[in-house]
Amino acid sequence: GAGVSQSPSNKVTEKGKDVELRCDPISGHTALYWYRQSLGQGLEFLIYFQGNSAPDKSGLPSDRFSAERTGGSVSTLTIQRTQQEDSAVYLCASSLARQTDTQYFGPGTRLTVL
């Protein structure tokens, strides 16, 4: 069946612009996660959704970052006034229900801020 999909696969933007990254989780998965991975680094947790609510936003690095999820499905991660240090691969994962369920990852969106 279809896995987690993310769009766009690549995004190049200018410093100061806003960007929106999209994640389509596996159908029926209620938990959704956003991570980012800077070059040569491990995965950094950003935010976790259970349904449409986000019980854990502790990983968002600044108030320029926000995320929402509607209809318990698609999620968008928005970065306002992008900075060069925001350049990274942004990964989305979904799991069936609980945080201990296996997470299935999408291919990621590579964001480059010039």
**Contact set with another protein (CB under 8 A):** 4, 33, 35, 41-45, 48, 55-56, 58-59, 91, 93, 98-100, 102-108
Rank residues 21 and 106 by Cβ distance to another protein and give the closer one.
106
Least distance (Å) between residue 64 CB and another protein: 20
**Residues 59/22/33/85 CA torsion (nearest 10 deg):** -30
Q: Which is nearer to another protein, 82 or 108 (CB)?
A: 108
In angstroms, the CA 51 to CA 77 distance is 15
What is the nearest approach in angstroms of another protein to the Cβ of residue 16?
28
Query: Cα 78 to the chain's mean position, in Å?
Result: 9
Minimal distance in Å, beta carbon 100 to another protein? 5
Select from 15, 21, 10 the least CA-distant residue to 114. Answer: 15
For another protein, the closer CB: 41 or 62:
41
